[in-house]
Amino acid sequence: MTRDQRFIDPDEIELLDLDWGSIKWLSTPETTGAEHFSAGIVVLEPGKGHERHTHPDSEEILFFLNGEGVQTIADEERTVSPGEMVYIPAGVEHSTINDSWEPMRFLAMYGPPGPEAEIREAPECTVVPPEESSDAAE
């Protein structure tokens, strides 16, 4: 996919495969040229999630598409389900855990972009080229 795309085909986006699930970053500075945010679809496998962490310089929004889980933001913990959204301020510890029997999908957005590049470079991340991952995160 080339920079400055307006219509994004997930089949043309690489997949980031992690031990807790997968991500397709559909809008990044490299794909769409967006300067103020990034966005992608995250799939958390049943019983998996990402541990408490922070993004010091980026706010985050999560919009839940399917499945159920537990969202922790700072010292507050809640069950989340489809149709709900959470806002995570920059620098605030948070985690998302899928405690259901089915994969959990949500839209994740960072503003400004940056954390998506850090995830891509993490040692536990395997980058799967688009031609090998067309259906994995859809």
Query: Can you give the residue ranges of every domain in the chain?
Result: 14-131
Average pLDDT over residues 16-33: 94
What pLDDT, on the 0 to 100 scale, is given for residue 2? Answer: 59
- Which pLDDT tens digit goes with each residue over 35-50? 999 999 999 999 999 8
* pTM passes above 0.75: yes
* SS3 assignment for the chain: CCCCCCCCCHHHCCEEEECCEEEEEEECCCCCCCCCCEEEEEEECCCCEEEEECCCCCEEEEEEEECCEEEEECCEEEEECCCCEEEECCCCCEEEEECCCCCEEEEEEEECCCHHHHHHHCCCCEEECHHHHCCCCC
- The domain 14-131 belongs to what CATH superfamily? Jelly Rolls (2.60.120.10)
